[in-house]
Amino acid sequence: MKSFSLLVICLFLLVGAKAQTNLKTLVDQKADQLEQQVIEWRRYFHQYPELSNREFKTAEKVTAHLKKLGMEVKTGVAHTGVIGILKGAKPGPVVALRADMDGLPVVERVDIPFASKEKSTYLGQEVGVMHACGHDTHVAMLMGAAEILTGIKNQLAGTVVFIFQPAEEGPPPGEEGGAALMVKEGVLKSVNADVVFGLHINSMLEVGKIRYKPEGTLAAADQFTIKVKGKQTHGSMPWGGVDPITIAAQIINGLQTIISRQTELTKEAAVISIGKIQGGVRNNIIPEECEMIGTIRTLDTAMQRIIHEKIILTATKIAESAGATAEVTIKTAVPVTYNDPNLTRLMLPTLFTAAGEDNVILTRAVTGAEDFSFFAREIPGFFLFLGGRAKNVDTLDAAPHHTPDFFIDESGMKLGVRTLCHLTLDYMKIGQK
């Protein structure tokens, strides 16, 4: 009798596994059929990028698509965010899939028919706007996954929540936004999400490949401002005042020694970078004040605290030695992006199936940052990287993210669509056990 019961169980599992394989095959076929549409969506978003918290046209297009699919849609989340809720025919876990929507204040230099010509205002300056980090591809891929999963909703055992998030690059000064605001507004709690998945296309990684890392995978990002206050004087008589611009230059050099000489880099990577320096109004006036802003990237909380302390000490003491003062403000913007190790282990076979085991690469942590980290602090999360570099382009020739020459090979997006769908299906299967 026991042998008969065991045989029945084995047959049941075999039928279930075959059904799951057939469903994935259907997903892959639909991804093939939808590829050109995903590319067209991406090109629209690329041609008409919008800055953080200003993704109005992007949100409208996403909303129209989700409503056309017949799912429950919430708009105006964290200013311009859009949430789509797809309920399967059977009960099961709630899987959240996230894509970010915002562009960057970068003037595009890539010679493509759908290059951005958009202009906007950022920090009081007129700027070009470009999807120089691939968020346009993320939106298009998630729209594709939404269409495929809606088409098989009668075979889904659970709920899928599609999160189209604004302001991943950070909200404008004085505003809230991004994943932090979405979490604050209860996006995950309102749907009782069990897990959240996200991916980021990468211009350095070859098309067809996926990179992943359990635990800490992306750095914490902190913003800092240093205001150096000196004494204004005529440019021809610098001895008559205290030059904050020269002092700021010395502080910049001093900050780099924090990393190169005072930080245990064999433990974890760390970076201090100045992104802007501003002071003065004309060539022959030494101004009273100079201001610089920058970013700190760390992967270890103890190192993060020490580096903060050293930045304050270095800036204030260099300024003091020259008869000036330095005011240092440090704001923690984004925590470490942490991939839940158990979830990563469970979903690794999914990546092997979607991309092929040889194309799935275990990587080291990188000092880029992602506000997906706010979602992954609330519930188990898994964030991975998708190849976007053409196979005939050398890694050294691929333009980095956040640059005017940033370029993505669109043939890599189909794997992203498939992977989002496979992760959803496989987690729903795991959640039934």
Query: Is 169 a residue of the active site?
Result: no
Mean of pLDDT over the chain:
95
pLDDT at residue 197, as a whole number: 98
What pLDDT score was predicted for residue 6? Answer: 46
For 349-368, what is each residue's pLDDT tens digit?
A: 999 999 999 999 999 999 99
Q: What is the mean pLDDT of residues 372-379?
A: 98
Domains of the chain, first to last? 2-218+336-431 (3.40.630.10), 220-334 (3.30.70.360)
Nearest 5°: CA angle at 107, between 373 and 293?
55
Q: Read off the pLDDT band of 247 (50, 70, 90).
A: very high
* pLDDT of the residue at 9: 45
Task: Please give the average per-residue pLDDT across 364-393, as a whole number.
Answer: 97
389 touches 138 (CB < 8 A): no
pLDDT for 13: 42
- Write down the pLDDT at residue 233: 97
Q: What are the structure tokens assigned to 218, written together? A: 């992306």
The whole-number average pLDDT for the span 109-126 is 96
Higher pLDDT, 68 or 15: 68
168 is catalytic: yes
Examine the pLDDT at 1 and tell me if it is beyond 90.
Answer: no
pLDDT given at position 433:
53
275-310 tens-digit pLDDT: 999 999 999 999 999 999 999 999 998 999 999 999
Q: How confident is the model at residue 407 (pLDDT cuts 50, 70, 90)?
A: very high
Looking at the DSSP bridge assignments, the partners of residue 296 are 222, 272
CA distances from 265 to 236, 271, 273, 303, 433 (A): 44, 10, 16, 10, 43
Residue 353 main-chain phi, psi, to 5 deg: -70, -40
pLDDT of 146 above 70: yes
**pLDDT tens across 194-233, in order?**
999 999 999 999 999 999 999 999 999 999 999 999 999 9
Instruction: Give burial (CB, 10 Å; 0-12/13-18/19+) of 327.
Output: middle
Q: What is the pLDDT of residue 8?
A: 45
Q: Please tell me the distance from the alpha carbon of residue 388 to that of residue 140, in angstroms, as a whole number.
A: 14
| Residue scoring higher pLDDT (6 or 281) | 281
pLDDT above 80: residue 11? no
- Encode pLDDT of 163-197 as tens digits: 999 999 999 989 999 999 999 999 999 999 999 99
Percent of the chain with pLDDT over 90: 93
Higher pLDDT, residue 19 or 20: 20
CA separation for the pair 340, 383 (Å, rounded): 9
18 burial type by CB count under 10 A (0-12 exposed, 13-18 middle, 19+ buried) = exposed
CA dihedral 368→104→201→184, nearest 10 degrees, is 70
The three-state (H, E, C) secondary structure of the chain, written as one string? CHHHHHHHHHHHHHHHHHHHHHHHHHHHHHHHHHHHHHHHHHHHHHHCCCCCCCCHHHHHHHHHHHHHCCCEEEEEECCCEEEEEEECCEEEEEEEEEEECCCECCCCCCCCCCCCCCEEEECCEEEECECCCCHHHHHHHHHHHHHHHHHCHHHCEEEEEEEEECCCCCCCCCCCCHHHHHHHCCHHHHHCCCEEEEEEEEEEEECCCEEECCEEEECEEEEEEEEEECECEECCCHHHCECHHHHHHHHHHHHHHHHHHHCCCCCCCEEEEEEEEEECCCCCEECCEEEEEEEEEECCHHHHHHHHHHHHHHHHHHHHHCCCEEEEEEEEEECCEEECHHHHHHHHHHHHHHHCHHHEEECCCECCCCCHHHHHHHCCEEEEEEEEECCCCCHHHCCCCCCCCCCCCHHHHHHHHHHHHHHHHHHHHHHCC
**What is Dmax (Cα atoms) for the chain?**
101
Residue of 55, 102, 108, 340 with catalytic role? 102
CA distance 212 to 200: 11
* Proportion of the chain above pLDDT 70, given as a percent: 95
**CB contact at 8 A, 227 and 312:** no
Q: How confident is the model at residue 34 (pLDDT cuts 50, 70, 90)?
A: very high
Mean pLDDT of 25-30: 97
Catalytic residue, chosen from 28, 108, 168, 409, is 168
* Residue 324 token pair: 């000036």
pTM higher than the cut 0.85 = yes
What is the model's pLDDT at position 20? 73
The CA–CA distances, whole Å, from 189 to 86, 94, 154 equal 16, 11, 25
Angle at 130 between CA 125 and CA 133, to 5 degrees: 120
Task: Indicate the pLDDT class of residue 129, thresholds 50, 70 and 90.
Answer: very high
Residues in CB range of 252: below 8 A, 6 or more apart: 274, 277, 292
| 303, β-bridge pairs | none
**The pLDDT value given to residue 17:** 57
Mean pLDDT, range 92-114, rounded to an integer: 98
What confidence tier does 431 reach under pLDDT thresholds 50, 70, 90?
confident
